[in-house]
């Protein structure tokens, strides 16, 4: 059984589930999902710049409406449950948790405790952070001690 630590920011779409569950062919995969809610780690201005860079002006204007910090906990828990259910429905083992404090430290601890084979960071593009190598995948590569794969999440609109 192949063990992947999967860090997400939003609920998995059906396209995301198919993508991550077929990465290793027919080999069985067990996922440990870490749901990173929006909070202090995600800067509102950087998210808005990313939206503008992708031509999503309406999204940039709505960034301030998104729940953050403690208000993001409830939506994050629902997103995690949805994602775990989708992975299990696809035939994989899946457990997970919402991570708020020190996500990279938590990721390293989960990798060590589970003897994970890899980390997958499934996220929307974050151009500013990526340019400066401050995105989750770049930072994780220097910390976790296993291969880190960065994939771009699909939106529901793109999946339909």
- The per-residue pLDDT string of the chain (160 residues; one tens digit each, 9 = 90 and over) reads 999 999 998 899 999 999 999 999 888 999 999 998 765 444 544 555 555 555 555 554 444 445 555 665 778 899 999 999 999 999 999 999 999 777 888 999 999 999 999 999 888 765 555 554 456 667 788 788 898 888 877 665 444 4
Other C-beta atoms closer than 10 Å to the C-beta of 101 total: 9
Scan for tokens 């198919």, then name that residue. 18
pTM to 2 decimals? 0.75
pLDDT at 26 (0 to 100):
86
Scan for tokens 């994050």, then name that residue. 76
CB within 8 A of 122, min separation 6: which ones? 6, 7, 8, 9, 12, 16, 20, 151, 152, 153
């Amino acid at each position: 059984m192949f063990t992947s630590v999967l860090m997400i920011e939003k609920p998995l779409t059906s396209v995301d589930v198919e993508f991550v569950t077929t990465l290793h062919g027919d080999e069985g995969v067990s996922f440990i999902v870490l749901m990173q809610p929006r909070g202090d780690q995600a800067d509102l201005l950087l998210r808005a710049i990313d939206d503008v860079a992708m031509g999503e002006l309406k999204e940039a204007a709505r960034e301030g409406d998104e729940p953050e910090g403690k208000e993001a906990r409830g939506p994050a828990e629902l997103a995690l449950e949805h994602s775990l259910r989708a992975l299990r429905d696809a035939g994989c083992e899946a457990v997970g948790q919402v991570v708020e404090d020190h996500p990279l430290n938590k990721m390293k601890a989960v990798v060590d405790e589970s003897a994970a084979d890899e980390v997958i960071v499934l996220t929307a593009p974050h151009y500013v952070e990526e340019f400066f190598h401050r995105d989750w995948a770049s930072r994780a590569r220097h910390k976790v001690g296993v291969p880190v794969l960065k994939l771009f999440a699909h939106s529901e609109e793109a999946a339909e």
